[in-house]
Structure 1
């Protein structure tokens, strides 16, 4: 019984967590592809992707200091995906910002945010690893800082829950993503408890709690039958960090219908 318990908690749970976390990191790719097809980001909020890069970068450093292969394996795909998301989005944003400005910008706002996040982590790692200012507490310091970075990730679901309460509808919550987030946090939380690492089970416990609260809000405020289309000029993104792929499909279909209705009178004139 003890052997099975160790196998499940020490190997099975983190292995499943690697698969789920990779799927979650890759979730925004479809929404970005649609935004590129429309040649406009619309209400797609790319800023969390720069935070994602810093988050994965920090966890890789923590995996190095703790010699944890599961943490390492779960964040390598996330780091690669985040670089791709930021690179593709920056290329699109450069075209948008250049068209709205007379001068040509070398860096987009997304590039600047990404460089700031990476520079911060470079300074941290040089100070911790090379200068040795932590006196043997490298693991604890990196673990604390990566969890501070993670707090910015939690801003997205908190904003989403606030939107649900204000609008009395849970349309902004992507059900599948919410379930995957809960499962991911649960598996990693179990693994963190098994190895007695608060840096792992601490933030995942918070993530699981936020997921449960979102599930309760979905029950209290069911999704409405019609989804409101957010104008492309809207600056705030009230959706989850990992974009609602299902809602994006519906939004694209409605936009196409609106375009057809607008173009129909012209065809009659011709």
Structure 2
């Protein structure tokens, strides 16, 4: 009959380890679905998902050799989850690049359209100024002559000189040249309108070209995933086709899985350095951190019960890194929390300033009123 210690270490611990392992693999699903809805990867780090594919594949192979159901069910769902996560990450990387290119192209389009509109308005203003000058010049001068008969001769000379400066010395101001000038102005107006329409037609064509542009679609993450899968399939094929006994295969697969686990834990290690550098703990995914630490803790106990160092070493490192991330998460605030705290402070300050403005200042000393007004100006600033 098995003792309580053996039951706890060999059955209860791996059972809870498998449960928390699947919860760990499923932890990013909600955030990735939200990122897919937003169309941006954001702060999500997809590198651990590529390593997760190789890690789960290696542990599934190890479970086949040991004929251990706990290790298998702790990694088989994670392998399926990792495929979806990696596909979503590659898609979101392409969306981010496409959004950046579209944003820069539309900025250029807006600048071009603004310059075109400004040039069209300048041409229109110059044309209207010339048109109004020729249209109103003679009317104003004629009214002045009618009102001031004593200056008739001087005004007529002024009108004639102005007309000759504008239209040339060989043109008579009494003929139909004014009608010709109006016709010429109307023609210029139509030409200017056609010019504006042509410019906007070019802008529409440019916008259509940007919207239908086919550009390169690089997704660096897919290269990482393909590289990990190729490496593991090549390694598993060698293990199967090279004549080795079961103990040798277990040893080789255990070494390979631990090497892969070092890369898997390298991602949290890089996140730890990034958090320390940026003083922002939002890079740490809380759900993944908690589930990863609990999973490593239970499988560490399972490895101790079996005295399997291939389980003890990687899971012991996982517990250590999880504790460090938990400490950083509690010690360093994330940017979202800082923004929320500053927003609440600003709202409370605005409420205080609003209540202060509702106070009456009747029958108060002038010095107090000026001091209160100064404080309100500081609040409003």
TM-score (norm 2): 0.54
Equivalent residue number for residue 59 of structure 1: 59
Q: Does the CA contact (< 8 Å) of 1:46 and 1:89 recur in 2?
A: yes
Distance apart, 1:196 and its partner CA: 1.1
Equivalent residue number for residue 314 of structure 2: 203
CA distance in 2, matches of 1:74, 1:112: 26
1:68-112 Cα offsets, whole Å, 9 max, x none, are 21111100000010111122333444455567584455x742222
CA distance in 2, matches of 1:189, 1:210: 14
Name the structure with the higher helix share: 2
1:47-82 Cα offsets, whole Å, 9 max, x none, are 221111011011111111122211111000000101
Unaligned regions of 5+ residues in structure 2, if any?
102-212, 341-381
CA distance in 1, matches of 2:41, 2:300: 35
CA distance in 1, matches of 2:269, 2:67: 32
Q: Please, which moves more after superposition, 208-217 or 26-35?
A: 208-217
CA distance in 2, matches of 1:154, 1:137: 26
Equivalent residue number for residue 146 of structure 1: 257
Q: Secondary structure at the match of 1:27?
A: helix
> Does the C-alpha gap of structure 1 residues 228 and 151 become closer, same or farther in structure 2, counting only changes over 3 Å?
farther
Q: Secondary structure at the match of 1:159?
A: helix
CA distance in 1, matches of 2:52, 2:16: 20
Q: Secondary structure at the match of 2:3?
A: helix
CA distance in 2, matches of 1:217, 1:94: 32
Q: Does the CA contact (< 8 Å) of 2:41 and 2:96 recur in 1?
A: no
CA distance in 1, matches of 2:49, 2:307: 30
CA distance in 2, matches of 1:96, 1:226: 21
Q: List aligned pairs for 1:25-104, cutoff 5 A.
A: 25-97=25-97, 100=101, 102-104=214-216
Work out which of the residue numbers 223, 231, 245 in structure 1 matches 2:333. Answer: 223
Q: Secondary structure at the match of 2:70?
A: helix
Distance apart, 1:172 and its partner CA: 3.7
Q: Secondary structure at the match of 1:194?
A: helix
Q: Does the CA contact (< 8 Å) of 1:134 and 1:141 recur in 2?
A: no
Q: Does the CA contact (< 8 Å) of 1:127 and 1:133 recur in 2?
A: no
Q: Does the CA contact (< 8 Å) of 1:128 and 1:134 recur in 2?
A: no
Distance apart, 1:159 and its partner CA: 2.1
Q: List aligned pairs for 1:161-172, cutoff 5 A.
A: 161-168=272-279, 170-172=281-283
Q: Does the CA contact (< 8 Å) of 2:275 and 2:283 recur in 1?
A: yes
Work out which of the residue numbers 297, 301, 321 in structure 2 matches 1:190. Answer: 301
1:121-159 Cα offsets, whole Å, 9 max, x none, are 111011111133789511111111111111111122212
CA distance in 2, matches of 1:91, 1:36: 9
Equivalent residue number for residue 232 of structure 1: none
Q: Please, which moves more after superposition, 112-121 or 175-184?
A: 175-184
- Cα root mean square deviation, aligned: 2.8
Instruction: Kindly name which structure, 1 or 2, has the bigger radius of gyration based on alpha carbons.
Output: 2
Unaligned regions of 5+ residues in structure 1, if any?
230-249, 251-270
Q: Please, which moves more after superposition, 88-97 or 45-54?
A: 88-97
Equivalent pairs counted in the alignment come to 228
Q: Secondary structure at the match of 1:137?
A: helix
Equivalent residue number for residue 20 of structure 1: 20
CA distance in 2, matches of 1:104, 1:202: 43
Q: Secondary structure at the match of 2:41?
A: coil
> Does the C-alpha gap of structure 1 residues 89 and 215 become closer, same or farther in structure 2, counting only changes over 3 Å?
closer
Q: Does the CA contact (< 8 Å) of 2:39 and 2:95 recur in 1?
A: no
